[in-house]
Amino acid sequence: MTARGPGRRPHPDVLTPAEWTVAEGVRHGLTNRQIARRLGVSADAVKFHVGNMLAKLELENRRALRRWGGVRRDSALKTRENAMAGDIGLDAIGQIARSVADIGDSELWYRDVLALPHLFTLGDLAFFDCGGVRLYLQQGEVKPESILYFRVGDIHAAAKALEDKGVDIVSAPHMIYRHEDGGEEWMAFFNDLEGRPLALMARVG
């Protein structure tokens, strides 16, 4: 358990808000350094949080944390009932991811040259609307393949149904962004037969 200072009351959730933020980064496949850069903290601070979480949740390692399916107490999903009863329920493709060398240059190019509606930018990530399909740009090593994201109604039920069918769930459902209106963006990652990443996505609230 994380040590508490004198007089500090225990947090009502299984993780503190800071730990939840780091946990979502880990479950999204980010390194400590990437998480630290997005949060504006040191990599040592992120490492400290990861160690605390592994101890709290009695998980063996970072890989186990990435597959942990916990939901933060203040999430819209915490009180939502599963409605799919084991059905995977894949819907239309909701998002396609592409890697870019420079997120600033790419944001300007996709917005001003291609005239795609810009949705939001989060650190080295930028999102655009392509006629109802979301384009997700991430700065990093430019890779030849894109990731397909399938919309689902109940992301936890869909991930469980895939896992029951023997699919390798690489990252458990996790919240990646909370909008100002309270809406939440959730994702989970799994592999195809060749080990290439695919994803589930859901908007909640």
Give the confidence band of 80 by pLDDT, cuts at 50, 70, 90: low
Return d(Cα 141, Cα 139) in angstroms, integer.
7
Q: How far is CA 62 from CA 26, 70, 170, in A?
A: 8, 14, 12
Q: What are the domain boundaries of the chain?
A: 17-66, 93-204
Query: 17-27 vs 43-57: helix axis angle to the nearest 10?
Result: 90
Comparison of pLDDT for 70 and 85, the residue scoring more: 70
Give the confidence band of 3 by pLDDT, cuts at 50, 70, 90: very low
Q: How far is CA 35 from CA 46, 77, 100, 119, 180, in A?
A: 7, 23, 19, 22, 21
Return d(Cα 33, Cα 51) in angstroms, integer.
15
Please write the tens of the pLDDT for every residue from 145-193: 888 898 998 999 999 988 888 888 999 999 998 888 889 999 999 988 7
Tell me the Cα Rg of the chain. Answer: 18
pLDDT recorded at residue 9:
54
Please write the tens of the pLDDT for every residue from 30-75: 999 999 998 999 999 999 999 999 999 999 999 999 999 899 988 8
**CATH topology identical between 17-66 and 93-204:** no
pLDDT recorded at residue 89:
75
Please write the tens of the pLDDT for every residue from 12-26: 789 999 999 999 999
The CATH topology of domain 93-204 is 2,3-Dihydroxybiphenyl 1,2-Dioxygenase; domain 1 (3.10.180)
Please write the tens of the pLDDT for every residue from 96-154: 998 899 999 999 999 998 889 999 998 889 999 988 999 999 998 888 788 889 899 89
3-state class (DSSP) for residue 185: strand
The answer regarding whether domain 17-66 maps to CATH 1.10.10.10 reads yes
pLDDT recorded at residue 144:
76
